[in-house]
Amino acid sequence: MNAADAQDEKSLLLQRHDQYRQLAEQHSQLDHRLHELTDKHYLSTSEQVEEVTLKKRKLALKDRMEEIAREYRHTRAS
C-alpha cells in the first residue's frame, strides 16, 4: 500500500468507523500534551513520568488503530 492509499484508508476510517475516530482523537490529544511537555526547558519528576505514560498510551492507541485498519483491509479483500 502506498502513502496515498494509506491516507485514503485513514480518511475513510475517520469518516465511517466510530471507534477509529475516537482513538484518533485521543491520540491527537495525547500528542498535543506531549508537545506542551516537550516545549518546556525543564520537566519535574511528575512531568517526566507523565511524558513516559503519554508516550506509552499514544503507542497503544496507534497499535489499536492499525489493528482496525488491518481488519478493514482484510474485510475489504474478502
Boundaries of domain holding 51 = 46-78
Is residue 5 assigned to a domain? Answer: no
Whether the predicted pLDDT of 70 surpasses 90: yes
Is residue 51 assigned to a domain? Answer: yes
SS3 per residue for the chain: CCHHHHHHHHHHHHHHCHHHHHHHHHHHHHHHHHHHHHCCCCCCHHHHHHHHHHHHHHHHHHHHHHHHHHHHHHHHHC
Is residue 73 assigned to a domain? Answer: yes
Query: Do residues 65 and 24 make contact, with C-beta atoms less than 8 angstroms apart?
Result: yes
Q: Which position has the higher pLDDT, 51 or 78?
A: 51
Domain count, the chain: 1
Give per-residue pLDDT as tens, 11-57: 999 999 999 999 999 999 999 999 999 999 999 999 999 999 999 99
